[in-house]
Amino acid sequence: MSQDERPQITLITPPAFDLEVFPDRLAAVLDAVDIACVRLALASRDEDTILRAADAARLVAHQRDVAIVIENHVLMVERLGLDGVHLTDGARSVRTVRKNLGSDAIVGAYCGVTRHEGMSAGEAGADYAAFGPIGQSHLGKGETAEFDLFEWWSEVIEVPCIAEGALTQTLVAKFGPVTDFFGIGEEIWSADDCVAALKTLIAPIV
């Protein structure tokens, strides 16, 4: 696998994090590994909490010329100077959000395990379609995005795709040839050394 063919990495933040600690952990990862984009995946519905967390993460990412997007909070993109939004409702709102944010913003869509949803998102103007989980998870309905989906997508569709959810080193090795990006987050943040955890996880594609 040549360097140009290697999947890039979207780094997904924890759903909540300590502002005294996390920015330094994020910086350490961005300094150690080539990251294409940071995704703020915050669970909070408190506006002030989101603003402060997003501001801190944006500062770290932009100091290193790394793009940063936020899950769902479209109005925060311009307010905080973020690079775009990651929508978790598939193709449903892609067209409207693209119109509101303009052509320069990153607009991505999480499309679960369905090829059709991904195609619809791409047609509506999404910059990428994310599918997952690809690993076994007890979340949701327990469905997984199958290898066949990514294999077909890589051969037929030009819109980039992201493989994410319950990743293991074995899955990274398997899906590496058929995905454009890996979305990595929960797999590393629980480790004491998140940089080492990430390097171990992506060893098959480095």
Question: Looking at residue 85, which CATH number applies to its domain?
Answer: 3.20.20.70
Residues of the domain holding 63: 8-205
Q: Each residue of 168-177: pLDDT tens digit?
A: 999 999 999 9
Please, are residues 41 and 71 in contact by the beta-carbon 8 Å criterion?
yes
Q: What's the pLDDT at 95?
A: 98
Q: What's the pLDDT at 12?
A: 98
Instruction: Give the tokens for residue 14.
Output: 């924890």
Q: What's the pLDDT at 141?
A: 75
149 contacts: CB under 8 Å, gap ≥ 6: 113, 115, 131
Please, are residues 110 and 86 in contact by the beta-carbon 8 Å criterion?
yes
Instruction: Tell me, yes or no, whether 39 lies in a domain.
Output: yes
Q: Looking at the 3D structure of the chain, how many domains does it have?
A: 1
Instruction: Give the tokens for residue 6.
Output: 């290697």
Instruction: Tell me, yes or no, whether 3 lies in a domain.
Output: no
Instruction: Tell me, yes or no, whether 120 lies in a domain.
Output: yes
Ranges of residues in the chain with a pLDDT under 50 are 1-2
Distance set, CA 198 to CA 6, 9, 38, 202, 206 (Å): 15, 10, 14, 6, 11
Instruction: Tell me, yes or no, whether 1 lies in a domain.
Output: no
d(CA 135, CA 35): 21
Q: What's the pLDDT at 168?
A: 97
118-134: buried (b, 16+ CB within 10 Å) or exposed (e) per residue?
bbbbbebbbbbbbbbbb
Instruction: Tell me, yes or no, whether 165 lies in a domain.
Output: yes
Q: What's the pLDDT at 5?
A: 79
Radius of gyration of the chain (CA): 16
**Residue 64: φ, ψ to 5°:** -110, 15
Instruction: Tell me, yes or no, whether 141 lies in a domain.
Output: yes
Q: Each residue of 34-46: pLDDT tens digit?
A: 999 999 999 999 9
Torsion (CA) 122, 126, 127, 128 in degrees, nearest 10 = -60
Instruction: Tell me, yes or no, whether 2 lies in a domain.
Output: no
